[in-house]
């Protein structure tokens, strides 16, 4: 069963199309390559990997601390959509600022990257909670998967254009590939802001819980929501499981290009792999919504975790571009499904829908706290062992723990 794709559902999902440009062009494709070869060219590969992983961890940690508080204020004052606009604008602006960072200025580049990541994360916090304004609980899986699927398609379209810009800069009037990459970052900022406009226009703001409450009440609400979470053991167990397995998901797509460069694959091969992930991910994520309808949401997530675990083992032995392409296909088949079904399963578990943004604040907090661990494990394992392949085994542990805990979670019946 799926709802009619009306204007509000499409406008909401189009934000995924908008901000996925950052996840693909910046995070997965060009920033790791450009950072290593342009901004941090004088640093050893293992050292630049360490700094990149640590920056992502620190940005995730900073946002995780404030996510529940932001969610509380958004619920109290009815500011979820305005919060999304603020963070989306921040992220899109910072993407444009990459253009002005000079060569060898790796610290400035990393500082901006961390800020852009906060903009991306903040926008997603409010975007996730707005799902309740466009979907009933019965159709939550489908709507969530539709959003992620549209994101894969949008991110894929722009990264193809950006790849052409970088590989054939003369066709676009650029002097060289370095200038093309900088303009690619600008295109992400423009794309992100432009396709956020339909959500701003056509998705309703959530009703405020207490518009006249003081800021102190907002902090108290965080503690009260934490107490509600603690009373629901199923919710607690899901969040802990999510902490581990989503860390593996996030770490793989954030560090995949850096990993491939460390084992001497070519930049062109990596961009092709990213494009494969995006265009396989679009239909595969939609299929996951139907799979969840047949087998259950939890079983759909567990299937994805199992495939990820096999990927980590196989990835430790890759040596050619063809191997990397195969892994890209497999990643595209499961990545969006795991993320989308996790969002809808958590939404179904929320006991108090009037405080959904705050509950999603804790959801994002666990996701971002987990993102502190994964990239750091990859970076430190690579630095100590001087072997990037061993870092994949550290990620495997995260999937095993997360899957084992998720098996014990009772699935909500409403989705």
Per-residue model confidence as pLDDT tens digits over 266-300: 777 777 888 898 999 999 999 999 898 888 999 99
- What number of helices (H) and strands (E) belong to the chain? 16, 0
Tell me the C-alpha distance between 411 and 68, whole Å: 24
Residues of the chain predicted below pLDDT 50 = none
Report if residue 148 sits inside a domain.
Answer: yes
Q: Is 3 inside any structural domain?
A: no
How large is the C-alpha radius of gyration of the chain? 20
- What's the pLDDT at 255? 65
Q: What does DSSP assign to residue 353?
A: G
- Asked whether residue 415 is domain-assigned, the answer is no
Say if 160 falls within a structural domain: yes
Q: Please report where in the chains the tokens 């995260």 appear, as a residue.
A: 398
Let me know if residue 340 belongs to a domain.
Answer: yes
For residue 370, what pLDDT is reported? Answer: 63
Neighbour-count burial of 293, counting CB atoms closer than 10 A to its CB (0-12 exposed, 13-18 middle, 19+ buried): middle
| Domain assignment present for 414 | no
> Which range of residues forms the domain containing residue 54?
9-206+214-406
Q: How far is CA 153 from CA 84, 138, 149, in A?
A: 21, 25, 6
* Number of domains making up the chain: 1
Q: Which residues contact 412 (CB under 8 A, 6 or more apart)?
A: 297, 345, 348, 349
Which secondary-structure segment (H or E) carries 215?
Answer: helix 215-231
How far is it between the farthest Cα atoms of the chain?
61
The pLDDT value recorded for residue 215 is 63
* Whole-number pLDDT of residue 413: 66
> Is residue 411 domain-resident?
no
Candidates 305, 306, 297, 304; CA nearest to 410 is 297
CATH classification of the domain holding 174: 1.20.1250.20
Residue-level pLDDT at 389: 66
* Residue 242: predicted pLDDT: 94
At residue 212, the pLDDT reads 64
The count of other CB atoms within 10 Å of the CB of residue 103 is 13
How is 216-274 classified by DSSP, letter by letter? HHHHHHHHHHHHHHHH-HHHHHHHHHHHHHHHHHHHHHHHHHHHHHHTT--HHHHHHHH
| 361 within some domain | yes
CB atoms within 10 A of CB 256: 23
Q: What is the DSSP letter of 324?
A: H
CA dihedral sign of residues 257, 261, 267, 269: negative
């Amino acid at each position: 069963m799926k709802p009619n794709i009306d204007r509000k559902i499409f406008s909401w999902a189009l934000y995924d199309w908008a901000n996925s440009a950052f996840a693909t062009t910046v995070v997965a494709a060009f920033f790791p390559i450009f950072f290593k070869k342009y901004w941090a060219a004088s640093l050893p590969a293992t050292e630049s990997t360490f700094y990149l992983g640590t920056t992502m961890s620190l940005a995730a940690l900073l946002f995780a601390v404030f996510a529940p508080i932001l969610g509380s204020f958004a619920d109290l004052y009815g500011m979820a959509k305005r919060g999304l606009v603020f963070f989306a604008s921040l992220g899109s602006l910072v993407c444009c600022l990459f253009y002005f960072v000079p060569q060898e200025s790796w610290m400035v580049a990393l500082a901006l990257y961390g800020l852009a990541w906060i903009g991306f994360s903040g926008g997603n916090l409010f975007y996730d909670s707005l799902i309740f304004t466009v979907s009933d609980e019965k159709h939550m899986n489908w709507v969530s998967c539709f959003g992620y699927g549209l994101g894969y398609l949008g991110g894929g379209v722009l990264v193809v254009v950006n790849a052409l810009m970088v590989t054939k800069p003369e066709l676009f009037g650029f002097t060289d590939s370095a200038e093309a990459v900088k303009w690619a970052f600008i295109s992400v900022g423009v794309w992100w802001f432009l396709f956020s406009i339909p959500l701003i226009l056509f998705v309703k703001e959530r009703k405020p819980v207490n518009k006249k409450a003081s800021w102190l009440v907002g902090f108290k609400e965080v503690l009260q929501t934490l107490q509600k979470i603690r009373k629901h053991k199923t919710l607690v167990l899901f969040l802990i499981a999510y902490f581990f397995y989503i860390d593996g998901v996030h770490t793989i797509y954030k560090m995949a290009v850096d990993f491939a460069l460390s084992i001497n694959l070519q930049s062109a091969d990596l961009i092709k792999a990213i494009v494969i992930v995006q265009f396989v991910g679009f239909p595969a994520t939609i299929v996951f919504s139907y799979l969840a309808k047949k087998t259950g949401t939890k079983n759909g997530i567990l299937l994805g975790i199992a495939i990820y675990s096999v990927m980590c083992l196989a990835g430790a032995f890759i040596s050619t571009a063809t191997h990397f392409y195969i892994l890209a296909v497999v990643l595209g088949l499961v990545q969006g499904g795991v993320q989308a079904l996790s969002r809808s399963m958590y939404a179904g578990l929320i006991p108090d829908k009037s405080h959904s943004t705050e509950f999603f604040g804790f959801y994002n907090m666990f996701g971002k706290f987990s993102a502190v661990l994964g990239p750091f494990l990859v970076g430190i394992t690579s630095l100590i062992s001087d072997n990037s392949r061993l870092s994949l085994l550290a990620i495997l542990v995260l999937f095993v723990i997360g899957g084992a805990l998720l098996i014990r979670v009772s699935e909500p019946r409403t989705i």
